[in-house]
């Protein structure tokens, strides 16, 4: 775990600090993306972790140990470091680039070579084809793969990535992002990733730290940041349409009607009729005293029943398909489509009613994605 404790950075001759009083934690085995507009201090933050940039005040701890207590060279060798593809040494072959630190550490040559083959394989470069190539012979994407392989060469626990993919074309970038996620699912490294691209952040991050003017504005999961931006700055930064590009982040609880018409189980059905009339609905949900969902009563069922004094519970039908509050939009749409139902109650793990999704609430949600002004409300 990497902990920032009241970290500030001010460059000499500049009045405003680049990073001010930053405190947050980067948990073990997660990808944390630092994002913000240029000049927000994200790269400075990253470079303070491997001491390329000197901390002005405060502390950075790695697993409880202050990085300032450690030898900077040794510290850096325990962290992979990936920058844009121009960081590959142009006068060395792919192999020399990957092996440079292990070689400098005078590790066993065979061991290094075996590891290099493994790394090449890991980043999807054929060793026979590419091992002895020079950087000028590689494409941008291939160079970046070499960069990633080099970062993993010392098998570090932490990988620092400074806008590694930003100079690549969109297709190659997407490919490398996918591969990074795949790698991470096997390797479980702690990855600190700087970018200015929100799409990239949302795609790869476990947590996103949004920086502005050297301060941490919001630090949360991508989903939370999109749904609950801490302020207008974050909302604008995230962008109104952003959520729609990730429909899996839209949950049942976000779009359900929170006050559907309900009746207690012992209510006589003529009273239920009255409620339907005033609420302009054609069915009500039947709850017990604990607000657990028992079933539903439709207007048609009441009309069919001769004795209007009987309790709702006696004529109710089963609740049918229900949804957990965290079911996403994709699932909901599929279910509605499959079953042809028009409503779906949302219940919590105890079976208590939380709300109701109706076909009209789905339509509303979807239509809002296409009108930027109201997008924020949909996200909220």
Partner 1 sequence: MIEFFNYVADNASLLLNYTLQHLRIGMLAVMCGIVLGVPLGLLIARFHIIKKPVMGVSSVIQAIPSLAFMGLLIPVIGIGDKTAIVIIAMYALLPIIRNTYTGLTNIDENIMEAARGIGMTSRQILFKIQLPLALPVLMAGIRVAAVNSIGTATLASFVGGGGLGKQIYAGIQIINVNMMLSGAIPACLLALLIDFLFGLIEKSVVPISLQISGSAISKDRVHRLKHHRKRVLTVACLAIAVLIGSVVYDSIEWDDTPKITIGTTEYIEERIVAELYAQVIEDRTGIKVEQNNAMGDGLVVWQALQANEINAVPAYTGTYYATRLELPIYPGLTAEDTYNGVAEGIAEYGITAAGQLGPNNQYVFAVKPEAAEKYGLEKVSDLVPYASNWVVGCSQSFYAREQDGLFPVCEEYGMEFKEALTFGAAPMYLALENDDVDVIVTFRTDGLLQKYDLVLLEDDREFFPPYVLFFMVNDAVLADYPQVLDACLELQGAVTDEEMQDLNYRGAQDGDLPYDIAHDFLVEKGLLTE
Two tokens at 276? 């339907």
Element (H, E) at 333: helix 329-339
Smallest distance from the beta carbon of 352 to partner 1, in angstroms? 53
Smallest distance from the beta carbon of 64 to partner 1, in angstroms? 21
Nearer to partner 1, 128 or 338 (CB): 128
Smallest distance from the beta carbon of 234 to partner 1, in angstroms? 30
Nearer to partner 1, 80 or 222 (CB): 80
Smallest distance from the beta carbon of 351 to partner 1, in angstroms? 54
Nearer to partner 1, 92 or 305 (CB): 92
Asked if residue 236 lies in contact with residue 375, where contact means CB atoms within 8 angstroms, the answer is no
Nearer to partner 1, 77 or 327 (CB): 77
Distance CA 179, CA 90 (A): 24
Find residue 195's DSSP bridge partners.
35
Residue with tokens 């940039």: 53
Nearer to partner 1, 133 or 291 (CB): 133
- Residues for the chain: how many in total? 380
Smallest distance from the beta carbon of 41 to partner 1, in angstroms? 17
DSSP class per residue in 172-240 = HHHHHHHHHHHHHHHH--EEEEEES-HHHHHHH-SEEEEEETTEEEEEE-HHHHHHS-SSHHHHHHH-T
Distance CA 100, CA 105 (A): 9
The answer for residues whose C-beta is within 8 angstroms of residue 78's C-beta and 6 or more apart is: 154, 156, 157, 158
Find residue 357's DSSP bridge partners.
344
Smallest distance from the beta carbon of 73 to partner 1, in angstroms? 5
Nearer to partner 1, 129 or 228 (CB): 129
Nearer to partner 1, 35 or 75 (CB): 75
Nearer to partner 1, 59 or 133 (CB): 133
Smallest distance from the beta carbon of 123 to partner 1, in angstroms? 16
Provide the binding-site residues for partner 1, judged by CB under 8 A. Answer: 47, 50, 52, 73-77, 79-81, 83-84, 86-93, 100-101, 104, 132-138, 150-151, 154, 160
Smallest distance from the beta carbon of 91 to partner 1, in angstroms? 3
Smallest distance from the beta carbon of 213 to partner 1, in angstroms? 24
CA distance to 114, 115, 124, per residue, from 102 (Å): 12, 10, 21
The number of angstroms, rounded, from the C-alpha of 345 to the middle of its chain's C-alpha atoms is 27
Nearer to partner 1, 41 or 222 (CB): 41
Find residue 3's DSSP bridge partners.
25, 61
DSSP 251: B
Which regions of 106-169 does DSSP assign to beta strands (E)? 158-162
Asked if residue 22 lies in contact with residue 216, where contact means CB atoms within 8 angstroms, the answer is yes
Asked if residue 58 lies in contact with residue 9, where contact means CB atoms within 8 angstroms, the answer is no
Smallest distance from the beta carbon of 44 to partner 1, in angstroms? 13
Nearer to partner 1, 87 or 124 (CB): 87
Of 243, 233, 178, the residue nearest 204 (C-alpha): 178
């Amino acid at each position: 775990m990497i902990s920032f404790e009241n970290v500030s950075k001010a460059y000499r001759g500049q009045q405003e600090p680049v990073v001010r009083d930053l405190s947050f934690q980067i948990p073990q085995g997660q990808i944390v993306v630092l994002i913000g507009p240029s000049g927000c201090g994200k790269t400075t933050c990253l470079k303070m972790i491997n001491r390329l940039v000197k901390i002005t005040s405060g502390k950075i701890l790695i697993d409880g140990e202050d990085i300032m207590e450690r030898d900077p060279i040794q510290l850096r060798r325990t962290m992979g470091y990936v920058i844009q593809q121009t960081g590959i040494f142009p006068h060395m072959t792919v192999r020399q680039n990957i092996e440079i630190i292990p070689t400098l550490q005078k590790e066993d040559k065979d061991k290094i070579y075996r590891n290099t083959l493994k790394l090449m394989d890991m980043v999807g470069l054929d060793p026979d084809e590419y091992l002895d190539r020079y950087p000028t012979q590689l494409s941008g994407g291939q160079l970046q793969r070499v960069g990633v392989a080099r970062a993993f060469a010392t098998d570090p626990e932490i990988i620092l990535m400074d806008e590694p993919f930003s100079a690549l074309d969109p297709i190659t970038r997407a490919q490398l992002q996918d591969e990074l996620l795949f790698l991470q699912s096997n390797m479980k490294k702690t990855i600190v990733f700087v970018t200015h691209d929100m799409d990239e952040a949302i795609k790869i991050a476990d947590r996103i730290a949004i920086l502005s003017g050297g301060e941490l504005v919001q630090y949360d999961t991508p989903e939370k940041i999109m749904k609950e931006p801490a302020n207008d700055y974050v909302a604008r930064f995230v962008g109104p349409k952003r959520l729609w590009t990730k429909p899996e982040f839209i949950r049942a609880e976000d779009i359900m009607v929170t006050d559907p018409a309900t009746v207690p189980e012992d209510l006589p059905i003529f009273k239920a009729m009255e409620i339907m009339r005033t609420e302009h609905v054609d069915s009500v949900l039947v709850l017990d005293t604990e607000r657990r969902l028992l079933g539903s009563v439709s207007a048609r069922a009441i009309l069919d029943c001769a004795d209007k004094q009987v309790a709702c519970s006696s004529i109710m039908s089963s609740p049918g398909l229900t949804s957990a509050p965290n079911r996403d939009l994709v699932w909901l749409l599929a279910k509605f489509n499959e079953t042809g139902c028009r409503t779906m109650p949302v219940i919590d793990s105890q079976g208590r009613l939380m709300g109701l999704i109706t076909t009209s609430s789905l339509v509303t949600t979807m239509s809002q994605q296409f009108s930027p002004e109201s997008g924020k409300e949909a996200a909220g």
